[in-house]
């Protein structure tokens, strides 16, 4: 191994700052996407969205974030190609973090809901191309990720469409929709809780030293689902008179708190990898002394990602929330619930198998899906077109910014 260009402690500090900067961008953009349906449907306020994100984004990142991190960290390029060139590898990972974070900052300031997965993947590809050439990129892995950018919104959109139709048939169109809501919405809450419980119990708890057997996973998941269902039922019964007074949509507003929490957890479990994947790669080299050394993701790394995400949402998330929550289609709590539930299910399923997808694409697909239940005329096709265009621009933007940061770091540290 060649000598590191800086003291390992300084490298770790730069990596931590880069990871926090990237997580800040994720919070300002992707978490805003996750909260957009809840705020846009007026089920919760922006301040409440911050509180929910603060709790559940962190829990998702800490309990279930390590699974996808390994895919981002080692999937697009083999670290073994940089053995003997550790300094180049570290500089490249730093460049990808700062490049992707810069793009997310610019996009968030403009209110563009771009994909953080796009951003980091494009940035890593840019680094590999400039340092090793096109042939060093694992194009098959990139192709799989790219395929998910098409598949995930289609799946989440279809699920959202069907979920809303089920809510319409069993609750909204009933003779006494208020009573139907009080009776049936807890079952939707159970379903959401089971989704979150499965990924946490099977994939997440082992990262904090609590591995479970298959039977224990089922037991914990069912108990968690029942608890959430009971809490939802209690809240609905307490609001029963108000539901009859203000309409059935107010009942779905209660459920939106559950689904918003689920979406925040799902987002934290999946997209924290975009921040701490490259960060973990840098830390492995600086602390283990060699590229490719196997090391678990440290809890403090997940902590940096979780805190950065929440801080980004609180300071710069409002603009993207407005785009997602009100510029694709007009959302009500029942529509917002259907979209969020479908998106959370898709994201958690992807996290469950360690497959990185774009929360942005998944959620936008779900919002389009519920919009289609009212007809194409209820969709703002112009806004959708601009959103898709911002997705297309993100990959080359990430790659170009990586090149700039790469040469900047090489010049600064004389590598």
Identify which has the larger pLDDT, 75 or 398.
398
Q: Identify the pLDDT of residue 136.
A: 83
Displacement of CA 140 from its chain's centroid (Å): 23
Domain definitions of the chain by residue range: 8-413
> Residue 201 pLDDT > 80, yes or no?
no
Q: What is the pLDDT of residues 317-357, one digit of tens each?
A: 888 888 888 889 989 999 988 998 888 788 777 766 766 67
**CA 387 to CA 182: how far, in whole Å?**
37
* Distance separating alpha carbons of residues 65 and 175, to the nearest angstrom: 44
pLDDT per residue as tens digits for the range 384-397: 888 888 888 888 89
Rounded to an integer, what distance in angstroms lies between the CA atom of residue 340 and that of residue 348? 12
Three-state secondary structure of 79-144: HHHHCCCHHHHHHHHHHHHHHHHHHHHHHHHHCCCCCHHHHHHHHHHHHHHHHHCHHHCCHHHHHH
- Indicate whether this model's pTM tops 0.85: no
Estimate the crossing angle of helix 318-326 against helix 32-40, to 10 degrees. Answer: 50
- pLDDT at residue 220 in the model: 84
Tell me: the pLDDT tens digits for 144-161? 777 777 788 899 999 999
For the chain, the average pLDDT equals 83
- 360 close to 30: Cβ distance less than 8 angstroms: yes
The helices-and-strands tally (H runs, E runs) of the chain is: 16, 0
Cα–Cα dist 255/171, whole Å: 13
pLDDT of residue 303: 80
| Residue bearing the bigger pLDDT, 223 or 254 | 223
pLDDT of residue 70: 55
Block residue for tokens 């689904």:
259
- pLDDT at residue 359 above 80? no
């Amino acid at each position: 191994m060649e000598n590191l260009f800086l003291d390992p402690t300084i490298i770790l500090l730069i990596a931590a700052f880069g990871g926090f900067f990237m997580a800040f961008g994720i919070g300002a953009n992707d978490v805003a996407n996750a909260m957009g349906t809840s705020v846009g449907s007026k089920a919760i306020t922006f301040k409440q969205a911050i509180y929910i994100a603060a709790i559940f984004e962190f829990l998702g990142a800490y309990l279930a974030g390590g699974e996808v991190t390994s895919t981002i960290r080692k999937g697009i390029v083999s670290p073994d190609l940089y053995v003997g060139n550790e300094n180049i590898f570290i500089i490249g990972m730093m460049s990808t973090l700062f490049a992707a974070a810069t793009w997310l900052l610019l996009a968030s300031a403009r209110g563009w809901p771009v994909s953080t997965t796009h951003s980091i993947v494009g940035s890593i590809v840019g680094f590999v191309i400039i340092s090793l050439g096109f042939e060093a990129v694992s194009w098959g892995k990139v192709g799989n990720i790219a395929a998910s950018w098409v598949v995930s919104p289609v799946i989440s959109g279809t699920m959202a469409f069907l979920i809303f139709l089920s809510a319409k048939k069993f609750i909204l169109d009933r003779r006494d929709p208020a009573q139907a809501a009080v009776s049936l919405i807890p079952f939707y809450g159970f379903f959401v809780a089971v989704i979150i419980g499965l990924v946490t119990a099977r994939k997440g708890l082992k990262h904090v030293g609590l591995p479970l057997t298959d039977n224990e996973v089922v037991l914990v998941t069912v108990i968690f689902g029942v608890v959430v269902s009971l809490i939802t039922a209690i809240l609905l019964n307490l609001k029963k008179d108000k539901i009859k007074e203000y309409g059935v949509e107010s009942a779905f507003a209660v459920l939106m708190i559950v689904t918003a929490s689920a979406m925040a957890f799902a987002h934290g479990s999946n997209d924290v990898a975009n921040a701490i994947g490259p960060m973990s790669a840098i830390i492995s080299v600086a602390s283990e002394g060699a590229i490719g050394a196997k090391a678990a993701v440290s809890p403090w790394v997940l902590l940096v990602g979780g805190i950065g995400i929440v801080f980004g949402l609180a300071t710069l998330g409002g603009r993207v929330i407005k785009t997602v929550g009100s510029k694709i289609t007009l959302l009500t709590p029942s529509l917002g619930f259907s979209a969020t539930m479908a998106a959370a299910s898709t994201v958690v399923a992807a996290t469950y198998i360690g497959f990185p997808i774009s929360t942005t694409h998944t959620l936008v697909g779900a919002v389009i899906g519920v919009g289609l239940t009212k007809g194409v005329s209820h969709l703002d096709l112009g806004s959708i077109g601009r959103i898709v265009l911002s997705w297309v621009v993100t990959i080359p933007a990430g790659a170009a910014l990586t090149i700039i940061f790469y040469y900047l770091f090489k010049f600064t540290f004389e590598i």
